[in-house]
Amino acid sequence: MLELVNPPQYRHCIAMEWMRYNHRRCEYGSQIYIQNTMSRVLGTAHQLDVELLTWDLVKPQAVRTQAVKKKRRLLWR
């Protein structure tokens, strides 16, 4: 749908607003899909600033830690 918006400057503006709105809200698969189809959909409105915003679309996840069950001793030889 975005490829039908003219002129390209307005298409670029809409893409930038959408990227800012979805900052850290998407899943990993969505981010990859956006990066793969961005140049086809945006056409001449595809610029570096839009691409940079795609890098931070994935929502942050908590760091998973694993409990230490048994400590090991390192032997120095």
DSSP run (H or E) holding 31: helix 28-42
Supply the pTM of this predicted model.
0.67
Q: Name the pLDDT band for 36 (thresholds 50, 70, 90).
A: very high
Mean pLDDT over 6-35 rounds to 89
Domain limits, the chain: 9-54
Contact predicate 58/32, CB 8 Å: no
Contact predicate 15/50, CB 8 Å: yes
Question: Would you say how long the chain is, in residues?
Answer: 77
Q: Name the pLDDT band for 68 (thresholds 50, 70, 90).
A: confident
To the nearest whole number, what is the mean pLDDT of the chain?
84
